Amino acid sequence: MPDLTDDELLAELGVEVEPAKKGKYTPIEERIIAGFEDIQRFYETHGHLPRHGEHLDIFERLYAVRLDRIRSLPEAPALIAQFDKFGLLGMSEDEQPVAEPLDDDHLLSELGVELNPETNVAVLKHVPSREERRAAEEIANRTLCEDFASFKPLFDRAEAELQAGIRQTKRFSGDINISQGEFFILGGQMAYVAERGPTFKTPNGEPDARLRLIYSNGTETNLLLRSLQRALYKDEAGRRLSDPVVPNLFSDEWEESDVLSGTIYVLRSKSDDPFIAQHRELVHKIGVTGGSVETRIANAKLDATFLLADVEIVATYKMSHIDRTKLEKILHRVFAPAQISITVEDRFGNPVQPKEWFLVPLHVIDEAIERIKDGSISGLVYDVDEVRLANTSELDGADGSE
């Protein structure tokens, strides 16, 4: 009888051999998946694919560039298929801007060649210098950032601050003052200056420095400051992110001449749900309304947003001359770690998960409002374990990250 392999012996014994499970995703695959999930969340929120366009929100344009790059990856269809619940990879291209086909003259113009109308002879309009070519090579020469996990919270915070209006983007003006810790938008990617070396003089006497630049897609490059300056200046979509600044949203005294923009309200539920009843003094709904809070809660017991129960108002804060949506995003970002996951059925029997309920004491909410008033809310988040507002860098250190 011939020798049998282990698998054949197991088969003879009636034992089915399951194929070995694949290991975890590689760091690059995880970033591709995470980037695609951001795009899916955008699609779920806005109902359309992210689009290109100078007039559009910076993050929509970033997501549009990211989607283009994911679609260009040969391994993307197999990797993303199980996560692509909306079929975005295969969605019709008519939802994306389509470039007009260029004729020969336009193509030559794009290449920097101009035709002389009298002689029909092509004339080079602009040939990049060696310095410009070297700068472009430095920008393109990216490598995998091995310690990206320590920078990702910085990118997440900067993105949240942009969406909340705490940071702004502005056209790069060619300013040579580029400092460590600054954020830029370059080539559709957010970039962070992680390190800046000592200043030195170039052969023509100009000051320069070597930078370590980290990109939001998990890559990095080591380039000269002036190379980054030139790249940002030439990139029409190149932007510098402002420092985080929270405007003074409130005044100590409410004047009759003030224009009411809305009211922040804090509510407690009268629901008889066991969890709500047990933690009633800590379970709060934090929201913003442009009208009367009393009108907003008039039909609370019929609204799944209010847990289909009456509520009581425990605090209100008036505000003027401010974007209500952005302010609400700031508050919900701060208290996100304490958000309650609870599901109720609406009057049609459909499951609803209200998003504005948090397990947090009222005095911490009051502190957050004061922090918004004095502009010190940036970088703070609710620490569930310590029951206080804490800087995100403190929490990063607490979980062992560098």
Phi and psi at residue 189, to the nearest 5°? -120, 145
Q: What is the pLDDT of residue 151?
A: 92
378, burial (CB in 10 Å: exposed 0-12, middle 13-18, buried 19+): buried
* CATH match for 130-241 among 3.40.50.2000, 1.25.10.10, 2.30.30.30, 2.60.120.10: 2.30.30.30
Angstrom distance (rounded) from CA 183 to CA 225: 14
Six-digit token pair at 274? 């066991």
Q: What is the pLDDT of residue 229?
A: 87
Record the pTM: 0.41
Neighbours of 267 (CB within 10 A): 25
Q: Where are the domains of the chain?
A: 27-92, 130-241, 260-398
Angstrom distance (rounded) from CA 4 to CA 286: 68
Angstrom distance (rounded) from CA 163 to CA 327: 10
Tens digit of pLDDT at every position of the chain (402 positions): 556 565 665 566 555 545 544 456 788 888 888 888 888 888 888 788 888 876 677 778 888 888 888 888 888 888 888 888 888 887 754 544 343 444 445 444 444 445 455 544 444 444 445 555 554 555 556 889 999 999 999 998 888 878 767 788 888 776 667 889 999 998 888 999 999 989 888 877 888 889 999 999 899 988 888 888 888 888 888 888 888 765 555 544 444 444 456 788 999 999 988 888 899 999 999 988 888 889 889 888 888 888 889 999 999 988 766 667 778 888 888 999 999 988 887 767 778 888 889 999 999 999 998 888 777 787 889 999 999 998 876 665 554 444
Q: What is the pLDDT of residue 120?
A: 47
Dmax over CA atoms of the chain, in Å, equals 100
